[in-house]
């Protein structure tokens, strides 16, 4: 089941990582600045974030299998429209349609795996879910670089179509038709509040970094703040809110979310900055940049393969702490990237960063659910996935902020190496804050991740 639903992750990561590598080429074709392509990334992530609560509720009603198959169809349709786009607004809208499909795929995938796993098997189960999804990021940078260098960027989106078809066939063959009516009602009012709230906050944050924006940023941020307050007030009174904020009272759940949010934000920002740095700052060709960007995925795969055994030898909390220390150190080193570096050295530096990030996130993500009751797993998965996607959007926005801020600080253009180096230094400082929160992780809850507790 985990391998089947991981089709969705494979397709999503293949799409997003290939797109990251192709950003400079697409920007030239659409006649916009490369940094403006962040809208195509954020629109996808925002659509996912806004619609995940509704997608989870719909999946409970129509069945997890049916919802999963339809979401693949929607994602494929959005991919075709992306390939047909000739303007940035058209691309942004098509990416949002892809995100609508992802809003169902992602929580359903996680829910099915969590529901069928024992606590001591969660790390292994998560690895089976994510390992095929890692193949997408491994192929994406190289494929994206080769496509834009030797063909047309439109093929980056068209390759999703056969993957979606395979996923739909496997879904009807292998996934049971699971329905969950335990909650009884759908919190439509909560959905109506939290969706626009997230939209306003995220596009308000994006507008802050846009020098052409005027009143939009304060208006969006103000409206988002009001809607968020109304949702929190509503969620406290509703018996089954679309996002169950009462889960935050569970210490291990809350602390894991805090630390994971910081690390995921850093990871998303780095993934946005690095392809631009390699091509615009260091002058590497797309295919070369894409080849180097495979390395973080290989590092992630190695950490997933060896991480389970590592947590049996070392307490998972200590694994998370020392991995976070290594992450901060690697970011500081990577901030010194220079055009004179040999390519293998770039690869080694990125490998260390990815191994540190993935090892920490593997343990922290699995520990999130350790103290959550079985009957609330679905709600916990929905809240986790919503916050996960939101922080990824924040990470892209953070990447835009840092690049824009460094351009203003140095009064220079997008080809200056210093703006990207300074951006990575900012990420290192934020990761250091994450190291502080890592120490709050619950020792007992994380110990339960080991087959032999202790």
In tens, the pLDDT along 53-105 reads 677 667 767 777 788 888 889 999 999 999 998 898 999 999 999 988 888 87
Domain count, the chain: 2
By C-alpha distance, which of 34, 76, 54 is closest to 385? 54
Mean pLDDT of 209-214: 64
Mean pLDDT of 283-295: 82
Q: Which pLDDT score is estimated for 185?
A: 64
d(CA 322, CA 314): 11
Q: Which pLDDT score is estimated for 453?
A: 47
- Tally Cβ neighbours within 10 Å of residue 402: 23
Percent of the chain with pLDDT over 90: 12
pLDDT, tens only, 235-273: 888 887 878 888 888 877 888 888 888 988 998 899 889
- Residue 452 resides in a domain: no
Which CA distances in Å does 113 have to 110, 116, 120, 367?
5, 5, 13, 15
End-to-end CA distance of the chain: 30
CATH at 14:
1.20.1250.20
Is the separation of the CB atoms in 268 and 262 below 8 Å? no
User: Residues near 133 by Cβ (< 8 Å), separated by ≥ 6?
Assistant: 6, 9, 10, 12, 13
Q: Can you say whether the dihedral through the CA atoms of 75, 76, 79, 85 is positive or negative? A: negative
pLDDT greater than 50 at residue 374? yes
d(CA 207, CA 217): 5
Per-residue pLDDT band at 454 (split at 50, 70, 90):
very low
d(CA 38, CA 280): 15
By C-alpha distance, which of 342, 350, 341, 234 is closest to 294? 350
pLDDT greater than 60 at residue 181? no
Task: Tell me what the pLDDT averaged over the chain comes to.
Answer: 80
- Residue 114 resides in a domain: yes
Q: Which of 225, 241, 257 is the last residue of a domain?
A: 241
Mean pLDDT of 208-221: 73
Write out the residue range of the structural domain in which residue 142 sits. Answer: 2-176+242-447
d(CA 423, CA 98): 29
Percent of the chain with pLDDT over 70: 84
Residues 163 and 229 in one domain: no
Residues 234 and 333 in one domain: no
Residues 92 and 198 in one domain: no
Q: Which pLDDT score is estimated for 414?
A: 82
Lowest mean pLDDT among 57-71, 125-139, 231-245, 416-430: 125-139
Residues 400 and 254 in one domain: yes
Which CA distances in Å does 209 have to 47, 196, 268?
20, 20, 17
- Residue 181 resides in a domain: no
d(CA 200, CA 222): 8
What is the Cα Rg of the chain in Å?
Answer: 21
For the chain, give the number of residues. Answer: 454
């Amino acid at each position: 089941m985990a391998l089947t639903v991981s089709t969705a992750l494979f397709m999503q990561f293949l799409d997003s990582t290939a797109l990251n590598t192709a950003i400079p080429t697409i920007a030239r074709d659409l006649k916009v600045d490369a940094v403006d392509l962040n809208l195509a990334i954020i629109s996808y992530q925002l659509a996912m974030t806004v619609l995940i609560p509704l997608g989870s509720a719909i999946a409970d009603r129509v069945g997890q299998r049916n919802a999963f198959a339809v979401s693949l169809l929607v994602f494929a349709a959005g991919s075709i429209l992306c390939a047909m786009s000739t303007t940035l607004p058209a691309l942004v809208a098509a990416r949002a349609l892809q995100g609508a499909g992802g809003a169902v795929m992602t929580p359903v995938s996680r829910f099915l795996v969590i529901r069928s796993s024992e606590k001591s098997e969660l790390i292994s189960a998560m690895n089976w879910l994510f390992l095929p999804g890692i193949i997408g990021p491994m192929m994406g940078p190289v494929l994206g670089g080769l496509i834009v260098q030797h063909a047309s960027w439109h093929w980056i989106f068209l390759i999703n179509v056969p993957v979606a078809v395979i996923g739909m066939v496997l879904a009807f063959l292998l996934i049971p038709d699971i329905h969950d009516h335990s909650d009884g009602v759908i919190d439509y009012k909560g959905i109506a509040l939290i969706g626009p709230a997230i939209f306003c906050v995220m596009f308000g944050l994006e507008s802050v970094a846009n020098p052409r924006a005027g009143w939009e940023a304060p208006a969006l941020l103000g409206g988002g703040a009001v809607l968020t307050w109304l949702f929190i007030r509503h969620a406290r009174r509703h018996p089954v809110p679309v996002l169950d904020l009462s889960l935050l009272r569970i210490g291990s759940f809350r602390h894991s979310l805090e630390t994971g949010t910081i690390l995921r934000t850093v990871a998303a920002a780095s993934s946005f900055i690095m392809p631009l740095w390699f091509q615009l700052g260091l002058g590497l060709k797309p295919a070369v940049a894409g080849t180097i960007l495979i390395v973080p995925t290989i590092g992630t795969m190695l950490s997933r393969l060896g991480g389970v055994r590592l947590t049996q030898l070392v307490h998972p909390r200590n694994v998370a702490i020392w991995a976070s220390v290594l992450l901060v150190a690697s970011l500081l080193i990577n901030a010194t990237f220079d055009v004179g570096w040999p390519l293998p050295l770039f690869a080694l530096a990125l490998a260390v960063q990815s191994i540190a990030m993935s090892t920490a996130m593997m343990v922290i993500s699995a520990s999130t659910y350790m103290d959550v009751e079985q009957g609330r797993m679905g709600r916990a998965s929905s809240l986790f996935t919503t916050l996960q996607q939101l922080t990824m959007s924040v990470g892209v926005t953070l990447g835009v902020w840092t690049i824009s801020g460094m351009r203003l600080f140095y009064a220079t253009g997008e080809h200056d190496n210093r703006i990207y180096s300074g951006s990575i230094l900012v990420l290192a400082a934020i990761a250091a804050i994450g190291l502080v929160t890592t120490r709050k992780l619950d020792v007992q809850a994380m110990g339960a991740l080991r087959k032999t507790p202790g």
